[in-house]
């Protein structure tokens, strides 16, 4: 079976050590983590983790079953089996001497990204989108010289109403 | 030995009567007193432990408490293996207590042992005060972090108000679904802090709802497959024992006429004298069991998890079989072996449902075929008059106890000989470390089993290597007169390692010689325990009889032939039909 990228949503109790339990489980069972993001959910006391992983269908099934064995895990959803919205945020600090700024602003506008800081010789660009868009943005900004790059990892949600 | 068993409610396992009323009073008490009260309310009659700085409030609360029974071991590893033995012998939750840091880390081997074999244990560890956590304080270790991969769940208690609920949850989690160890780490200030004791009767844990009742359609599919099968086989594991489903398994096997093989942890889950019992499969399984596995057309795994010591090389395991898998843990299904008929639920309930409609398989010829293999290749060994054979010792113990003893083993050759040559009649009569293969487990686990059943005969079979890993617990047997019969199968080497080096590593024997071991008779005597030795068959019979006639603990040092190997043997990386048969060849 072919290895595919999967985006999994894991609803967990907001307890100390939960992230360690989940990431530890992936590590020791040999499951891959491409990215993991955690934040509050719609319900107080519960957090939602979005994990992007690579594996075949059997691996995905085991990931889900093993996650359910953790007492603090309440719900596991494979988002990528449905139409979903996946977004990542990146902050990219680039060299930006005043003379090249208009050129950079052109790129930023086209990508519907934004400039969130301007220093004497640098700029921070904020871009939100799916991973491909971020990659494309990074590629375009590379020629100016990337001083620092920070990405959040993917957060995601299924479109429309899910049964 | 004195053991007091508080009267408990059969249905809930909780305590009855006056003591319960007294314990349930909503007094303002310390976390330590809450812990003790909660343990008593959970029906715990014995805990095993070792005090230290971070649990001194807890031990202070025990002082003079007539209701609470604590057994001081000589090492924390002894305490947790004893709690494990207690749990495996009774089916109840075993409890052990240790202090922070080294006390807690000394439990790690025992926690992993219980985790691998799904044994319900609640482990209480002390920790440094919450204000000192994270500062690398004296005797601080992040034990919840360290044990995360080897516990079913764990708690670090930060507020004394949470303690009664946490203990209740811990017992619930440890003893339901797929059972396992749960750790409660209690910082010193939490065990000292006072609050009103509010014991919650009902617990609900949102993320924890084990499936115990199976999907009816899957049970029907299983029964249909049984009716169609002509070479069906049941693989019964520890899950049958843990679910108390021995009777249901017997009924299912008889109704469907399906032969049964039992894994190491499943031994005793099906009577070994039954005509449908084939033996143990796997690396040191019987010829008939392994051959049946490789030729069956329907394999029904019941509470067994397709461990690699059973399946050996997965690619080529049970190649012609349709696989049905009954397990309370959904994650086991399809984990190692692709499953055609998954059946998630408590083994006992699944079998009860199946038994309502079960019809026989067309297995007559198949049973005959298996019987032929059993006749042709029974377990056997070349006996000797000049040297004592380990298999002889096990056979002798089996015959004299008639399968009525609780037998604990350590890990290695002797463990496999017990599995092969002791005739188990009852569930929970074999206590052995299957999954983790923990040396040092055999002797202390027997102490736990004996504490649970003071009047039963408990025999602990050990190698001379493993016994020395927890031999210090002889003191506990001596001081409490715990009448365990401690058998040492003494071949003066690390036998199983020697066997592998001999067969797989071209006889390059590396660091296996246990020369320098103590005189085990003198060692026993030094602790005030009777010690006996036997070097031939006659001495063996005499010593064993004397041990049986002795009311207290006895160490019997059976000095056996050094070079004996365990056969059959399937080498790692090969399939079950590639058996080395030893003396047959």
So what's the pLDDT on residue B400? 98
What is the Cα–Cα distance from B211 to B215, expressed in whole angstroms?
10
What's B191-256 look like in SS3?
HHCEEECCCCCCCCCCCCCCCCCCCHHHHHHHHHHHHHCCCEEEEECHHHHHCCCHHHHHHHHHHH
The answer to whether the peptide bond before residue B17 is cis (omega within 30 degrees of 0) is no
Is A123 in the same domain as A67? Answer: no
Do the Cβ atoms of B149 and A28 come within 8 Å?
A: yes
Helix (H, G, I), strand (E, B) or coil at B514: coil
Is A72 in the same domain as A91? Answer: no
| Mean per-residue pLDDT over chain B, rounded | 95
Tell me which chain B residues have a C-beta less than 8 angstroms from the C-beta of A58. Answer: 334
Say what percent of chain A tops pLDDT 70. 97
Do the Cβ atoms of B331 and A62 come within 8 Å?
A: yes
Place of tokens 């001083």: A147
Active site residue B255: no
Terminal CA-CA length for chain B:
50
Let me know if residue A50 belongs to a domain: yes
ipTM of the complex: 0.92
Closest chain A residue to B206 measured between Cα atoms? Answer: A74
Helix (H, G, I), strand (E, B) or coil at A26: helix
Radius of gyration of chain A (CA): 19
pLDDT band at residue A160, thresholds of 50, 70 and 90? confident
What's B428-494 look like in SS3?
CCEECCCCCCCCCCHHHHHHHHHHHCCCCCEEEEEEHHHHCCCHHHHHHHHHHCCCCEEEEEECCEC
Q: Which residues make beta-bridge pairs with B298?
A: B232, B322
Let me know if residue A110 belongs to a domain: yes
Catalytic one of B76, B140, B169, B332: B76
Closest Cβ opposite residue B148 in set A13, A24, A66: A24
What is the Cα–Cα distance from B355 to B10, expressed in whole angstroms?
26
Closest chain A residue to B339 measured between Cα atoms? Answer: A58
CATH number at residue A94: 3.30.70.1150
Q: Which two tokens stand for residue B325?
A: 């898998």
Closest Cβ opposite residue B207 in set A25, A66, A71: A71
Query: Comparing C-alpha atoms, which of B309, B328, B310 is closest to residue B245?
Result: B328
Tell me the residues of B at the A interface, defined by beta carbons under 8 Å apart.
Answer: 144-145, 148-149, 152-154, 156, 173, 178, 205-208, 329-331, 333-335
Active site residue B139: yes
Q: How many residues does chain B have?
A: 585
Catalytic one of B1, B139, B335, B456: B139
Q: Which residues make beta-bridge pairs with B559?
A: B490
Query: Does an H or E element contain A40, and which?
Result: strand A35-40
For residues A126-145, give the mean pLDDT.
96
Tell me which chain A residues have a C-beta less than 8 angstroms from the C-beta of B335. Answer: 62, 65
Helix (H, G, I), strand (E, B) or coil at B501: helix
Whether A70 has a pLDDT exceeding 50, the answer reads yes
- Best probe of the A interface among B146, B206, B342, by most A CBs < 10 A, is B206
Do the Cβ atoms of A72 and B207 come within 8 Å?
A: yes
Please tell me the distance in Å from A75's CA to the nearest CA on chain B. Answer: 8
- Best probe of the A interface among B331, B336, B342, by most A CBs < 10 A, is B331
Let me know if residue A27 belongs to a domain: yes
Return left, alpha or beta for B101; rule: phi > 0 is left, psi -120 to 50 is alpha, else beta. Answer: left
Catalytic one of B92, B152, B179, B188: B188
Helix (H, G, I), strand (E, B) or coil at B332: helix
Q: How many residues does chain A have?
A: 163
Active site residue B520: no
Active site residue B92: no
So what's the pLDDT on residue B200? 87
Catalytic one of B496, B520, B558, B569: B496
Tell me which chain B residues have a C-beta less than 8 angstroms from the C-beta of A65. Answer: 330-331, 333, 335
- Contact, B143 vs B183, CB < 8 A? yes
Q: pLDDT tens per residue, chain B (585 residues)?
A: 444 444 555 555 566 678 888 999 999 999 999 999 999 999 998 999 999 999 999 999 999 998 889 999 999 999 999 999 999 999 999 999 999 999 999 999 999 999 999 999 999 999 999 999 999 999 999 999 999 999 999 999 999 999 999 999 999 999 999 999 999 999 999 999 999 999 988 899 999 999 999 999 999 999 999 999 999 999 999 999 999 999 999 999 999 999 999 999 999 999 999 999 999 999 999 999 999 999 999 999 999 999 999 999 999 999 999 999 999 999 999 999 999 999 999 999 999 999 999 999 999 999 999 999 999 999 999 998 899 999 999 999 999 999 999 999 999 999 999 999 999 999 999 999 999 999 999 999 999 999 999 999 999 999 999 999 999 999 999 999 999 999 999 999 999 999 999 999 999 999 999 999 999 999 999 999 999 999 999 999 999 999 999 999 999 999 999 999 999 999 999 999 999 998 654
Do the Cβ atoms of B145 and A20 come within 8 Å?
A: yes
Tell me which chain A residues have a C-beta less than 8 angstroms from the C-beta of B145. Answer: 17, 20
Please tell me the distance in Å from A82's CA to the nearest CA on chain B. Answer: 23
Do the Cβ atoms of B145 and A17 come within 8 Å?
A: yes
Is A70 in the same domain as A105? Answer: no
What is the Cα–Cα distance from B109 to B438, expressed in whole angstroms?
8
What is the Cα–Cα distance from B82 to B119, expressed in whole angstroms?
12
Please spell the DSSP secondary structure of B167-193, one letter per residue.
Answer: HHHHHHHHHSSS--EEEEEEEHHHHH-
Tell me which chain B residues have a C-beta less than 8 angstroms from the C-beta of A55. Answer: none
Tell me which chain B residues have a C-beta less than 8 angstroms from the C-beta of A68. Answer: 330-331
Size of interface A-B (CB pairs under 8 A): 44
Is A89 in the same domain as A64? Answer: no
Do the Cβ atoms of B156 and A17 come within 8 Å?
A: yes
Query: Does an H or E element contain B532, and which?
Result: strand B530-534
Within 13 Å of residue B359, how many CA atoms lie on the same side as its CB? 10
Please tell me the distance in Å from A163's CA to the nearest CA on chain B. Answer: 20
Let me know if residue A163 belongs to a domain: no
What is the Cα–Cα distance from B388 to B394, expressed in whole angstroms?
11
Closest chain A residue to B209 measured between Cα atoms? Answer: A71
Is A74 in the same domain as A11? Answer: yes
Is A77 in the same domain as A94? Answer: no
Please tell me the distance in Å from A58's CA to the nearest CA on chain B. Answer: 8
Do the Cβ atoms of B148 and A21 come within 8 Å?
A: yes
Is A108 in the same domain as A148? Answer: yes
What is the Cα–Cα distance from A113 to A108, expressed in whole angstroms?
5
Please tell me the distance in Å from B120's CA to the nearest CA on chain A. Answer: 15
Closest Cβ opposite residue B331 in set A21, A28, A65: A65
So what's the pLDDT on residue B17? 76
Closest Cβ opposite residue B331 in set A12, A24, A69: A69
Is A115 in the same domain as A141? Answer: yes
Q: Which residues make beta-bridge pairs with B406?
A: B458
Please tell me the distance in Å from B436's CA to the nearest CA on chain A. Answer: 16
pLDDT band at residue A163, thresholds of 50, 70 and 90? low
Tell me which chain B residues have a C-beta less than 8 angstroms from the C-beta of A72. Answer: 207
So what's the pLDDT on residue B9? 57
Tell me which chain B residues have a C-beta less than 8 angstroms from the C-beta of A13. Answer: 206-207
Is A14 in the same domain as A71? Answer: yes
CATH number at residue A12: 3.30.70.260
Domain of A123? 85-158
- The last residue of one of the domains, among A34, A53, A81, is A81
Is A23 in the same domain as A41? Answer: yes
Whether A17 has a pLDDT exceeding 50, the answer reads yes
- The last residue of one of the domains, among A59, A81, A103, is A81
So what's the pLDDT on residue A3? 79
Tell me which chain A residues have a C-beta less than 8 angstroms from the C-beta of B171. Answer: none
The alpha carbon of residue A117 and the mean position of all alpha carbons in its chain are separated, in whole angstroms, by 22
- The last residue of one of the domains, among A37, A64, A81, is A81
- Best probe of the B interface among A13, A15, A31, A69, by most B CBs < 10 A, is A69
Is A102 in the same domain as A138? Answer: yes
Active site residue B76: yes
Tell me which chain B residues have a C-beta less than 8 angstroms from the C-beta of A23. Answer: none
Do the Cβ atoms of A66 and B331 come within 8 Å?
A: yes
Please tell me the distance in Å from B205's CA to the nearest CA on chain A. Answer: 8
Is A18 in the same domain as A77? Answer: yes
Let me know if residue A146 belongs to a domain: yes
- Domain count within chain A: 2
pLDDT band at residue A10, thresholds of 50, 70 and 90? very high
For residue range A87-121, list pLDDT tens digits in order. 999 999 999 999 999 999 999 999 999 999 999 99
């Amino acid at each position: 079976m072919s290895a595919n990228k999967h985006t999994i949503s894991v609803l967990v109790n907001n307890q100390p050590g939960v992230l360690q339990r989940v990431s530890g489980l992936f590590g020791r069972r040999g499951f891959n983590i491409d990215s993991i993001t955690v934040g509050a959910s719609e319900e107080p006391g519960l957090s939602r983790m979005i994990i992007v992983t690579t594996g075949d269908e059997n691996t995905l099934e085991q990931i889900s079953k093993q996650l359910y064995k953790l007492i603090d895990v309440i719900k596991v959803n494979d988002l990528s089996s449905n139409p979903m919205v996946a977004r990542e945020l990146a902050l990219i600090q680039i060299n930006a001497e005043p003379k090249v700024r208009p050129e950079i602003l052109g790129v930023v506008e086209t990508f519907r990204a934004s400039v969130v800081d301007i220093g004497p010789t640098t700029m921070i660009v904020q871009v939100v989108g799916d991973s491909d868009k971020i990659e494309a943005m990074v590629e375009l900004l590379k020629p100016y010289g990337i001083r620092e790059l920070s990405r959040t990892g993917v957060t995601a949600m299924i479109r429309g109403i899910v049964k | 030995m004195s053991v007091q068993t508080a009267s408990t409610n059969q249905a809930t396992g909780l305590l009855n009567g006056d003591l319960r009323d007294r314990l349930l009073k909503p007094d303002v008490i310390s976390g330590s007193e809450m812990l003790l009260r909660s343990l008593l309310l959970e029906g715990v009659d014995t805990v095993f432990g070792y005090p230290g700085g971070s649990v001194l409030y807890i031990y202070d609360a025990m002082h003079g408490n007539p209701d609470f029974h604590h057994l001081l071991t000589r090492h924390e590893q002894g305490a947790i293996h004893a709690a494990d033995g207690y749990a495996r012998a009774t089916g109840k939750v075993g409890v052990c207590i240790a202090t922070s840091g080294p006390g807690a880390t000394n439990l790690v081997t025992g926690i992993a042992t219980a985790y691998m074999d799904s044994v319900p244990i609640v482990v209480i560890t002390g920790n440094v005060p919450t204000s000192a956590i994270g500062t690398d304080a004296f005797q601080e270790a992040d034990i919840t972090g360290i044990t995360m991969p080897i516990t079913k769940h764990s708690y670090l208690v930060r507020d004394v108000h949470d303690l009664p609920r946490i203990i209740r949850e811990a017992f619930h989690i440890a003893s339901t679904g797929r059972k396992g160890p749960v750790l409660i780490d209690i910082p010193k200030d939490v065990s000292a802090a006072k609050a009103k004791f509010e014991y919650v009767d009902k617990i609900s844990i949102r993320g924890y709802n084990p499936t115990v009742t199976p999907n009816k359609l899957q049970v029907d599919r299983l029964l249909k497959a049984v009716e169609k099968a002509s070479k069906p086989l049941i693989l019964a594991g520890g899950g049958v024992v843990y679910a108390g489903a021995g009777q249901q398994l017997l009924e299912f096997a008889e109704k469907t006429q399906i032969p049964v093989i039992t894994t190491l942890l499943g031994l005793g889950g099906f009577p070994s004298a039954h005509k449908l019992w084939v033996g143990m499969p796997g690396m040191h399984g019987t010829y008939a069991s392994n051959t049946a596995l490789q030729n069956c057309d329907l394999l029904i795994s019941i509470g067994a998890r397709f461990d690699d010591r059973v399946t050996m090389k997965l690619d080529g395991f049970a190649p012609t079989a349709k696989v049905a898998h009954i397990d309370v843990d959904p994650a086991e299904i399809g984990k190692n072996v692709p499953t055609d008929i998954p059946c998630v639920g408590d083994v006992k309930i699944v079998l009860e449902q199946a038994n309502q409609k079960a019809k026989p398989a067309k297995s007559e010829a198949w049973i005959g075929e298996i019987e032929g293999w059993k006749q042709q290749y029974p377990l056997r060994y070349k006996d000797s008059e000049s040297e004592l054979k380990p298999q002889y010792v096990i056979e002798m113990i089996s015959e004299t106890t008639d399968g009525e003893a609780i037998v604990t083993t350590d890990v290695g050759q002797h463990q496999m000989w017990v599995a092969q040559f002791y005739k188990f009649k009852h569930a929970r009569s074999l206590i052995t470390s299957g999954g983790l293969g923990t040396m040092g487990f055999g002797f202390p686990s027997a102490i736990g089993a004996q504490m649970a059943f003071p009047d039963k005969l408990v025999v602990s079979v050990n190698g001379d290597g493993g016994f020395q890993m927890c031999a210090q617990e002889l003191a506990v047997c001596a001081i409490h007169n715990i009448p365990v019969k401690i058998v040492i199968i003494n071949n003066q080497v690390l036998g199983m390692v020697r066997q592998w080096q001999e067969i797989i590593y071209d006889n390059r024997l590396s660091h296996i010689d246990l020369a320098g071991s103590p005189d085990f008779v003198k060692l026993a005597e030094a602790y005030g325990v009777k010690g006996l030795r036997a070097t031939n068959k006659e001495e063996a019979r005499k010593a064993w009889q004397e041990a049986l006639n002795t009311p207290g603990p006895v160490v019997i040092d059976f000095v056996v032939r050094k070079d004996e190997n365990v056969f059959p043997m399937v080498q790692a990386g090969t399939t079950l039909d590639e058996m080395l048969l030893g003396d047959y060849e």
